[in-house]
Structure formats: C-alpha cells, structure tokens
Structure 1
Amino acid sequence: MRKSWLGIAAAVLLGVTATSATAAEQQPQRIIGGGPIQITQAPWQVGLLLTDANFPFRDSSIRGRFICGGSIVDATHIVTAAHCMFPSEGYEAQPEDLEVLVGATRLGNGLTVPDEGTRIPVASIQRDQRFVDGGNYAHDYTVLTLARPIQFSDRAQPIQLATPEEQVLYRTNGQSAFVSGWGSTIPYPADFQGDPPSDRPTDLKQVGVDIVDDATCSSIYSSAGLDFTEEVCAGDRVNGGRDACQGDSGGPLVTLSDNVPILIGIVSFGGGCGDARAPGVYAEVAAQRAFLKADAGPAIRNIARPTLTGTPRVGETLTCNPGTWTSAPTFTYRFARVGGGTLSGPGGAPTYVPVDADAGTQVICEVAGTNAAGTRTVQTTAVTIAARPQAPAPTPTPTPQPPSTPGPDRVAPQITSLTMTSIFRPTTTGSSPFATASAVTRRGGRLSFRLSEAARVQLTITRLANAVGPKSRCGFARTKASDLKRVALQTRSLAAGRNTLTVSGRVNGRPLPRGRYAVRLHARDAAGNLASPRTVTFTVC
C-alpha cells in the first residue's frame, strides 16, 4: 500500500515523452527494478497483516490480507507508516485488527495466509497524531508494540535508527541506499490515469536506489506542501525503473554506516512507480527518532486465561476472574452471549446475574487489560446457562388410616426333604409309590425332613400289605392287603427348619416283624392349617 501522489509540478509532467513512458512499462517485473532476496539478507523486514476478525471495513475483501511492511526496532516494537493504519476509507485499525509477520521470505499465497515466519499480535499502536488520513502524508510515522517479544535469530534482527548526525552520510545527491518489500512489481508513470496496475509477488524483493537531495525533491513535489526536512527521496533520476510501489508502504529504506545497516526512511508515497521524474518519498527516520524510539512500556501478556466462577444458572451470580497478566494492567469487563449480544457494556463490573432470556445460551466474559503500552483483550471459556429451577410442588398431607388388622393365616406348612436312614445296612427296595424307600434293621432308623414353619407333627408307622407273589428279597412271603395294620403312632411339636426323629425297631417292647412298613407324616400349624402328608417306606428283614 504505497500511496501514489499525482500532484506533480506541471512543468515536470510536460517533459514526459512517449519514449520514456514506453521504457518504464518495459521494466522487469520486480520491486520496480530489483530482485528476490532471503529474509536473512534483511532480517529487520516484517509484514503487517490484517487478522481474520469481523472488522467494520467497507471493503470486506481486504480481511486477512498483507497490507504493509515495517522494520524491527527492538524485541517488542515495529516502525511503519501512519497511513498503513487506515486500511479502509474512514476506518482506523485497532490493535486487535493487526498482526506482524516476522522472519518470512515468502507469503504463502499472495494476499492470503502466509506459510512461513511467525505471526505476533499487536498490543498497542502509537501513531503520530499530526498525520491526517487523505492529506499530504506529512508525519507518516507509527510505532507498534507487540503482544509478545520477537525471538531473535538470523531471520529476525533489529535495525539501528539513523541519528540526526548521520544525515550527512546519506543526504548527498546520489548516495546509494536500498528498499525492500512485497509490493507491486509493475511500473507505471506519474501521470497514469485510472487505477494503477498492480500485482503482489509472494517473495521478498529488494532494489538499490539513489538518494535525491531535498531541494530537487521539494521542487518535484512542490504542490504537496511538505517540509522536506522530515522527508527523504530516493529513486533513479536518470533511467527510472528502480523504486518502491503499492504494498511496500511502511517498509525500510536502508543505507550503510561503517558497513552497518541503518534505517533512514519509511516508505510513504510517490508519483507513479519507477518514473525517473518522480522519485519515491520516505518519512525520514532521523527527523523523528525520539518518537520512534519512545518506549511505551513492556507489552501486556496474559499468562493464565480469565475464568468464570459461580453456578451458570438464571438468577445465580457469575464472577469474572481476570487471570494472570504481566505489566500490571488495569482491567475492564464485558459479558456477552456467544454468537452476538452484549449483556454488559465495556468497563462494567466483573459480575453478572443471568436473566430468563439467557437460559440455554452460552455466555462469556471478555477481560481487557490496559497499561501505557496499550490494551489486550482475552475471553473466558463459554458456559451454558441453565434455566431457573422450578419450585417444588407442595407435599400432600396423608389421610390418617386406621390400624390394619392382620387377616387369618391361610398358608399351610410345607414338609420337604423327607428321608429315612437305617442305623445299619441301608438298602434300596426299588420303585415305590411313596416318597423314598430305604431299608432299616430291627434296631430302627432315623427320619429326616424340613418344616417351612413351626408345626405339630404326627408320625404314623403302618405295616403294608404286599401283593401275592414270590418271596421278597428279605426271604419273607408277601402279605395280603388284608394284613395292613397300624403298628405305631407318635406326635411331636417341632420348630421350623430341619428336624430328625428316631424310628424304633421295636413296638411295645417287641421287635417289629419282618415286612414292609410306611412312615407317614402329618403337620398342622398354630392356625390349624394342614400340610400335605408325606410318606416314606422301609423294610424290616
């Protein structure tokens, strides 16, 4: 963005011939007459970029673009041109709009995101307040303070600023200097009508130029009304074709003092690009060295991000904690909804109480830290606001109920796990319609079973009649059904759980006759409920 000045003296313009214009149009496609260099050959050179934020620019096409050059003064300061602070008509850039590209030879894709170097945000801007946008470009000076220091290397180094005493070294007419930048490489004459041609190379370029004395330059640009004690001019007054151009604004004009590079000028404006009649005009560094070296203090840095505390719910208080910062800034706070909608204006209190309209939205707090070096703004992580809790419904008073009377017990006891075990030589008698068959000697056996509840148990021993047939395995003849008779009876009250009863091998003092017997159990609980009877058989041999 080098500005083109067309108000050149009429006498000079009348001296332009068709031949000279044609020669200018045939110059090589470089930073008007120069060639590519590596950033290590001009490590003080930086690029000025617009960030991708939503600016109120009238021309939205310039967002995210490279706009100007600049020079490193120290680890946290860059000098550039004041007119670079007006990237769109009527709008002055703010620190958050700008980044500085350090250590880059190549811009990644012309006007878009660069693919090398380091981007550093701008923390504050000190522009010479005497500069007037749209005026004659007098006082075209600006100092940028960076949000963090530059890490110096062979690709990033500061350059010395020329002193008033060093002016005599370069003010001689014809003294050599060089200018660098990523500006347009298409020359055009000072009296070009319409929009000037322009391209944007991706590689850094540099060209040697000759210093033009103040008297000559003042006469060329007499209509500009400039004080040329604060300007320095340079170009090729003989052949033309060596110059800065659009896009080189704010960049360095450098000469050597005892073989040490010194910054003598800042690219400001010119008549056309590469026209021998109209050398480039640079804001002279020595004339405003005190302003350019003024230290506004260290740049502000946020070390620990601000946080929101409190319950994120309608009616609850949210508190914005600023986090940790360097350089002792003062803080202001602003609450906002994500996606738009300020909830409290800048400079507000660090607290906010969400209202019903905030329910379901995400809210952030924006903290602005300010000191003499400028302002830095950092946001908290967003929180989602919950709706106001509903009041609990009243608990109904229970209706008193009369005490309940237990109903009658209609559950009968259960007899399970019924087995008969003889004291000696138990044997199995084969299939039986009864529960379990086992043998017992005449000395008796044990009856084992389980009750589901306490009950009174009746035990009946009955001799069984056998079908007529061959002798039993014990050697006695099977009896007839008419021989069935009850031979013993016991009654006991027993507890729930496992119980064991002894079945004697004798009745009324006499041993049981050989034969088959059934032991039948009946149980009745306290409520009078009867259990299903269970039967087990045994044989006396």
Structure 2
Amino acid sequence: MKAPLWSVLLYLASGVSSDLSPPGCGINDVGFDYTTLPKVTRKRIIGGEIATPHSFPWLAALENRGILHCGGSLLKGSSDRWFVLTAAHCFHGTSASDWKVRLGVHDISKNESSSESINVKTALIHPQYDTKTLTYDIALIELSSAPQLSRPEINIGCVSGDVAKAGEVCYVAGWGVISSEGDISDVLQLIEKPVLSQTQCRDIFGSNTFHEDSMICAGFIEGGKDSCTRDSGGPLMCYRNNRMEIIGIVSWGIGCGEPNSPGVYASASAGKQWIEANINS
C-alpha cells in the first residue's frame, strides 16, 4: 500500500530538493506483498517468471525508435523534474530524440490504458563511465513532461545508499530476451538472484574486468537464471525497510545464465552522490 496520496503529492509539489528515498517510493498500489517473492529457487528475463502486473510500478521500458532497447527506474527530481535511472551503455551513439519512455506498462505488445509514453529531454552519462571497461555504467534521462503519478500503476523507485550485502537475495525485472538466442518478453519478467561478495566477483572475472569501485555481481554459480539482452538499465532490487530498494543497474555479463558467470551491475551506492547532484541541479 502506498503512502497516503495527499502526503506524496504534497512532498512532490513542495519544490524542495529531492532525496533518493522520498515518501512512498519502492512500493506498489496493487496489493502485491513483496515478502511472498521467492528467496532462492532453482527453476530454469532467463529462467524467470512473469511478474504480477504493476507490482514494480517504477519500472520503465526504454524504446529507441519504437523498439525496446533497455529498462530503467523512475525517479523524482527537484521541483517538477523527472528522471529515469538506467545504464550509460544504452545511450552510446544515440540521440535523446530517438528515445521514448513507457511507464505503467506490463505487456509492451499492447496499448494498455495504464501506460503512458513520454519523450526524453536529455540523457546524462556518469562522468567516470568508460565505454571499454563499463565502469560507472550509470545514466539519468530527464523526461520532457511529468508522469501521471496519481495512477496506481506508476510510482517512483528508491535508490539505496547502502552497499550490497553478500548472500542477500535480490530481484531483477525486465522485458529482455528470455533465452540466449530468443525473443524479448512481451510481459514483465522477474528473477531472484543472490548477491555475491566482491571477492567472489573479482575471482570469477579478474580484477582487470570486474572493477569493485563501481560494480557488484549477483547470480547463481551453477547458472540458469540471469538478466540478458535488453534488460540493460533495469534495477537490481532488494526488499529492505518494508519496500524495494535499488542497489544496482543491469550492466553486463558473459552470456546469459551461464555457469560461473553471474550478472554484473553498476553499483547504485557508488553512483548515489552523482545521481543526487544531478536530479537536484
């Protein structure tokens, strides 16, 4: 259940600087109980399940010239500015005018009454992003107009400033391909993934590939479950403080769901200061 609508709207209309955990973020208004999500299963996004419609109402589908390319998470900036947090590599070599953001959507193949499509005003890339190493693979896209937050299918996400905890079971949602050589999913998919320690991630990928200052990794050592192509930019989320908190951004991997190859995510805590500075500028 969301915070009372009047309190959220009062906060959003106040014009004060925004933090990344405002009232009412990271929860849903469709009655979905996040504590019922699976903790760890081994059934063969890749190896995921269909998410309950609108249970993650901050999820955004990012379309380039009408085709899904990435995911993202809706954030509120200061005054009447709105942003989507996503991956920097999604925007390499593209123009902001080529993109649209779809919010409130569950099935991207349909023109759902709950959804709306908003133009992109500008894309901001983290200044330490490296196209070769994918360090600080973080971007913010500013929307050209405000979303209809009064709808139960649309809400803002929370970005955590806490570091990822090894062993914590977290979740990834997206419309990306559901097999390594397959098609994208029309409906939002969800998987659970345990966070691995930074030592494990470094040992798997090597210190020249896995950069601990801006990356985390999560997944099953035996493989079978993973984010994949066109899930990029979507959130890695953990249930904390009675809400979902974004701890990472889908960045890269070697294959999808391969053994000994967990997914790698841009660290939200590493980018938090830059994110806050830009949504409040």
> Is the partner of 1:121 in helix, strand or coil?
strand
Instruction: Find the counterpart in structure 1 of residue 209 from structure 2.
Output: 225
Instruction: Find the counterpart in structure 1 of residue 247 from structure 2.
Output: 264
**Residues 143 and 268 (structure 1 numbering): CA distance in 2 closer, same or farther, change over 3 Å?**
same
Q: For each residue in 1:424-451, what CA deviation from the matched residue of structure 2 results, as whole angstroms up to 9, or x when unmatched?
A: xxxxxxxxxxxxxxxxxxxxxxxxxxxx
**Residues 221 and 240 (structure 1 numbering): CA distance in 2 closer, same or farther, change over 3 Å?**
same
Instruction: Find the counterpart in structure 1 of residue 64 from structure 2.
Output: 50
Please point out which of 219, 224, 232 is paired with 1:249.
Answer: 232
> Is the partner of 1:254 in helix, strand or coil?
strand
Q: For each residue in 1:189-212, what CA deviation from the matched residue of structure 2 results, as whole angstroms up to 9, or x when unmatched?
A: xxxxxxxx1321111100011001
Instruction: Check if 1:177 corresponds to 2:170.
Output: yes
Displacement of 1:242 in angstroms is: 1.3
Displacement of 1:258 in angstroms is: 2.1
Q: What's the Cα RMSD here?
A: 1.8
Q: For each residue in 1:472-495, what CA deviation from the matched residue of structure 2 results, as whole angstroms up to 9, or x when unmatched?
A: xxxxxxxxxxxxxxxxxxxxxxxx
Instruction: Find the counterpart in structure 1 of residue 10 from structure 2.
Output: none
Instruction: Find the counterpart in structure 1 of residue 135 from structure 2.
Output: 138
User: What is the rounded CA distance, in whole Å, between the counterparts of 2:207 and 2:60 in structure 1?
Assistant: 32
Instruction: Find the counterpart in structure 2 of residue 154 from structure 1.
Output: 152
Count, aligned residues = 232
Q: For each residue in 1:359-398, what CA deviation from the matched residue of structure 2 results, as whole angstroms up to 9, or x when unmatched?
A: xxxxxxxxxxxxx8xxxxxxxxxxxxxxxxxxxxxxxxxx
User: What is the rounded CA distance, in whole Å, between the counterparts of 2:157 and 2:212 in structure 1?
Assistant: 24
Please point out which of 71, 75, 78 is paired with 1:69.
Answer: 71
User: What is the rounded CA distance, in whole Å, between the counterparts of 1:273 and 1:178 in structure 2?
Assistant: 16
Structure 1 residue ranges (4+ consecutive) displaced by more than 4 angstroms after TM superposition: none
Alignment of 1:463-502 (within 5 A): none
Displacement of 1:158 in angstroms is: 0.8
> Is the partner of 2:54 in helix, strand or coil?
helix
Please point out which of 93, 101, 115 is paired with 2:111.
Answer: 115
Displacement of 1:180 in angstroms is: 0.4
2:201·2:210 contact (CA, 8 Å) conserved in 1? no
> Is the partner of 1:40 in helix, strand or coil?
coil
User: What is the rounded CA distance, in whole Å, between the counterparts of 1:292 and 1:138 in structure 2?
Assistant: 15
Please point out which of 97, 103, 128 is paired with 2:126.
Answer: 128
Alignment of 1:365-380 (within 5 A): none
Instruction: Check if 1:208 corresponds to 2:202.
Output: no
Displacement of 1:95 in angstroms is: 1.8
1:198·1:246 contact (CA, 8 Å) conserved in 2? no
Alignment of 1:57-456 (within 5 A): 64-74=66-76, 76-86=82-92, 92-108=93-109, 115-116=111-112, 117-133=115-131, 135-152=132-149, 153-163=151-161, 166-167=162-163, 170-172=164-166, 174-187=167-180, 197-222=181-206, 224-237=208-221, 239-295=222-278
User: What is the rounded CA distance, in whole Å, between the counterparts of 1:212 and 1:143 in structure 2?
Assistant: 26
Which one has a larger percent strand, Structure 1 or Structure 2?
1
User: What is the rounded CA distance, in whole Å, between the counterparts of 2:246 and 2:53 in structure 1?
Assistant: 16
Query: Unpaired runs of 5+ in structure 2?
Result: 1-42
Displacement of 1:296 in angstroms is: 5.3
1:68·1:84 contact (CA, 8 Å) conserved in 2? yes
Q: Which residue identity does 2:101 align to in structure 1? A: V
Of structures 1 and 2, the one with the larger relative CO (CA 8 A, separation 6+) is: 2
Query: Unpaired runs of 5+ in structure 1?
Result: 1-26, 52-63, 87-91, 109-113, 188-196, 298-371, 373-541
Q: For each residue in 1:312-346, what CA deviation from the matched residue of structure 2 results, as whole angstroms up to 9, or x when unmatched?
A: xxxxxxxxxxxxxxxxxxxxxxxxxxxxxxxxxxx
Structure-1-length-normalised TM-score = 0.41
Q: Which residue identity does 2:190 align to in structure 1? A: Q
Structure-2-length-normalised TM-score = 0.78
**Residues 231 and 270 (structure 1 numbering): CA distance in 2 closer, same or farther, change over 3 Å?**
same
Q: Which residue identity does 2:170 align to in structure 1? A: A
> Is the partner of 2:185 in helix, strand or coil?
coil
Q: Greater CA radius of gyration, 1 or 2?
A: 1
User: What is the rounded CA distance, in whole Å, between the counterparts of 1:199 and 1:281 in structure 2?
Assistant: 22
Instruction: Find the counterpart in structure 2 of residue 529 from structure 1.
Output: none
> Is the partner of 1:232 in helix, strand or coil?
strand
Instruction: Find the counterpart in structure 1 of residue 50 from structure 2.
Output: 36
> Is the partner of 1:126 in helix, strand or coil?
strand
User: What is the rounded CA distance, in whole Å, between the counterparts of 2:208 and 2:225 in structure 1?
Assistant: 22
> Is the partner of 2:73 in helix, strand or coil?
strand
- Residue identity over aligned pairs, in percent, reads 28
